[in-house]
Amino acid sequence: MQLQTAHLLLRTVEDSDLTEVMRMWNFGGEPISGEDAQAAIDKMKHRHLQNRPGSIHHLCLAVFERDRDVIIGWCGLDGETMGKLHIFFLIDEAFRNRGYATQCAERLLDYAFTEAMVEGVDGGCEQANQASLKVMQKVGFVITDHEANGDPRLYITAEQYKRMKERKLPL
């Protein structure tokens, strides 16, 4: 699977990405072994096969700048961990403040609502993570509640997304 934005390529990792997955799986931590990276790639491929229109089981995409073969982050939609479809995005610190998280979130929502035909997407972050909160609100998520520790819970429906998209320029 491959999704594009103005500056990014979001795609399923392949076996040929093994070295990059080894480097970026722990996101700035110690690289993982080739065996562990291959297991992660195989697990992602298996999970992607379970996705169906109206139901995303799990979609994890590597984030690349369009002109480079270096993973700069991860993003996707997870429908298995929390029992609801949940958006996630994580951009390497060296590539932040370029609008990449917003591009990921916008493109994931576009995929979720126009191609996968889901009804809604959850979001959340630690309350101290104001950058992620701003990204989610910028792309149309609305705070619906807070966890006991104060972390915000957010949600966007297909209808809210459609109304927001009508007010903006295309992706």
How does pLDDT run across 84-129, given as a tens digit for each residue?
899 999 999 999 999 999 999 999 999 999 999 999 999 999 999 9
What mean pLDDT, rounded, does the chain reach? 91
Band (pLDDT 50/70/90 cuts) for residue 28 is low
- Kindly report each contact of residues 48-55 with a partner whose C-beta sits within 8 Å and lies 24 or more positions away, as own/partner: 48/1, 48/12, 51/116, 53/116, 53/117, 54/116, 54/117, 54/118, 54/119, 55/79, 55/116, 55/118
Please give the CATH superfamily to which domain 2-167 belongs.
Answer: Gcn5-related N-acetyltransferase (GNAT) (3.40.630.30)
Q: To the nearest whole percent, how much of the chain has pLDDT over 90?
A: 77
Question: Picking from 15-19, 24-28, 85-89, 110-114, which range would have the lowest pLDDT averaged per residue?
Answer: 24-28
Whole-number pLDDT of residue 81: 67
- The stretch 152-158 carries a mean pLDDT of 96
Domain boundaries, the chain: 2-167
